[in-house]
Structure 1
Amino acid sequence: MSGVVRLDSPAVHEFWRERHLCTLTTLRADGSPHVVPVGATLDADARLLRVTASRTSAKVRHVLAGAQRVAVCQVDGARWCTVEGMAVVRDDPESVAEAVRRYAERYRQPRPNPLRVVLEVTITRMLGSAALTGS
């Protein structure tokens, strides 16, 4: 059983603090999905999900070209959660530093990358397994 999960759910917060890789799905110009592994961090207070990336990556190019609707999915056995939302690319030092800080807390300190930007996804919907929905 699965369904809509609540952003204020303690189970959701805990799941997004655990160290799991995710997949990010963006859309190519022809509408086909581009799916890549990423590290992602959830900021429930701001209703944002952040993914750091190189400004030259396909995922960043897709968002800059207008494919702003994205999905980020995380799976651990029978537990899963997909965040849907609208992405923007931020390259200002404060946004990038905040994304790096959060990434380092969840995963590890990322290697230096002068081309680093952050995809900020404003969350519009979250879906997940029964373990996260309370069903």
Structure 2
Amino acid sequence: MGRRLADVSEEFLQFWRERHLSTLTTVRPDGTPHVVPVGVTLDVETATARVISSGTSHKVRQIRAAGPGGAQVAVCQVDGRRWSTLQGVAVVRDEPEVVADAERRYEQRYKKPRENPSRVVIEISVTKVLGNA
């Protein structure tokens, strides 16, 4: 059974602050999963996970193809026996201030992202939390 972000522990929050690579899972039109490695940042206050990406990537095209209502996705990170999955609805944002904010968040968790003039942000409204972290 999943939890809401409002119900998570400090241990969970720390796990999502530590530097861990994650995976993003989207669903292709034929129903098969598309899983790729990504960096994810999590804003618990707004229940928003963010992934920066090139606007031409397959994952971005799939989310955009889902329409304005967004696409169901999951992001997951694992560290030994600790794991956590965030499920929610993703949309693609390309406003310069939104991209800059996501880049700052990414830099805090990982490192300064390389320059990418076609960068966009996959914003995930987190609806469910799974895992043991």
TM-score scaled to structure 2, two decimals? 0.92
SS in structure 2 at match of 1:99? helix
Match of 2:129 among 121, 126, 130: 126
SS in structure 1 at match of 2:11? helix
Segments of 5+ residues of structure 1 without an aligned counterpart are: none
Give the percent of matched residue pairs that are identical in Structure 1 and Structure 2.
58
Encode CA deviations 1:13-46: one digit per residue, 9 max, x unaligned.
Answer: 1000000000000011111100000000000011
Paired AA for residue 52 in structure 2 = T
CA RMSD, Structure 1 to Structure 2 (Å): 1.1
Post-superposition shift, 1:4?
Answer: 3.0
Aligned length: 128
TM-score scaled to structure 1, two decimals? 0.91
Q: Which runs of 4+ in 1 moved over 4 A?
A: none
**Counterpart for residue 19 of structure 1:** 19
Encode CA deviations 1:77-119: one digit per residue, 9 max, x unaligned.
Answer: 0000000000000000111011100000000000000000000
Which deviates further from its counterpart, 12-21 or 64-73? Answer: 64-73
Write the distance in 1 (CA, Å) between the matches of 2:19 and 2:48. 18
**Counterpart for residue 103 of structure 1:** 106
Q: Is the 8 A contact 1:4 1:126 kept in 2?
A: yes
